[in-house]
Structure 1
């Protein structure tokens, strides 16, 4: 019985290694395991409350229109040219951004079946309003992740 979990663990490690190998060289700042988990949780919650923009087109359009949020970009995009302009747009608009290891994980967190290049998490839904406590919970989670990202980026540059 013990060997099953061992082979499963080695299989999991191999999957993680492949994810890291597939990463683009520009994928910095890259979220660690803990931050990735927290980020995906935030994306999931934002998707539930319709506070999420999915895909390069939607994200770029939102940023150009002056909407604020947190940009999460997948690091294993091929060809990388698809998303190379997104970090620059984010920096110009003073929007925090972070890379995560896989587009598949980002899609499942964002409640879509298609792999997603990038998402923009907003604290307010595009249409309608959220309950006060739901809004506060989303906002506090958002602020927590943004603080972690800020800490990570200041240590990088």
Structure 2
């Protein structure tokens, strides 16, 4: 019994190690385990309420149009040139951004089957309106992640 658990654990550690090795050198600020979980939970909730823009093209378009939110970027993108301009756009538009280790995890949270390199979690849905209670839940999650991200960013620079 115990050896199965041991094997599973070492397999998981190996998987995590590969994720870290595949990270791009520009993936800063990178979310730790706890913040990564929180961020992906926020992305999942935003996807349910259609407050999510997926993929580089859509994210860039939304930022240029002046939409506000938080940008979540996958750290294991290859070639890295695909997303190098996104953090710069985010900084110019005063949008917080965070890297998560895996594009696959980001896609799962964003309810897509294809690996996604970046998503923009919007503060409110572009069309229609949410129920007050749902809006509150989304807002508290959003504010929590933004606070953690800005704390992490300020410790970097």
Q: Please name the residue that 1:44 is paired with.
A: 44
Question: 1:27, 1:70 → 2: CA distance?
Answer: 16
User: For the residues of structure 1 that align with 2:150 and 2:125, how far apart are their CA atoms?
Assistant: 24
Q: Give the structure-2-normalised TM-score.
A: 0.99
Residue 10 of structure 1 is matched in structure 2 by: 10
> Which residue of structure 2 lines up, in the alignment, with residue 131 of structure 1?
131
Report SS of the residue matched to 1:144: helix
C-alpha separation between the residues in 2 aligned to 1:127 and 1:115? 25
Hey, what does 2:147 align to over in structure 1? Answer: 147
Tell me how far apart the structure 1 counterparts of residues 126 and 15 of structure 2 sit (CA, whole Å): 36
Aligned position for 2:87 = 87
Query: After the TM superposition, which segments of 4 or more aligned residues of structure 1 sit over 2 Å from their partners?
Result: none
Q: CA deviation at 1:43?
A: 0.2
CA displacement, residues 73-108 of structure 1 (integer Å, 9 cap, x when unaligned): 000000000000000000000000000000000000
CA RMSD of aligned residues (A): 0.4
Q: Point out where structure 1 has 5 or more consecutive residues left out of the alignment.
A: none
The number of residue pairs the alignment matches comes to 157
TM-score (norm 1): 0.99
Equivalent residue, structure 1, for 2:66: 66
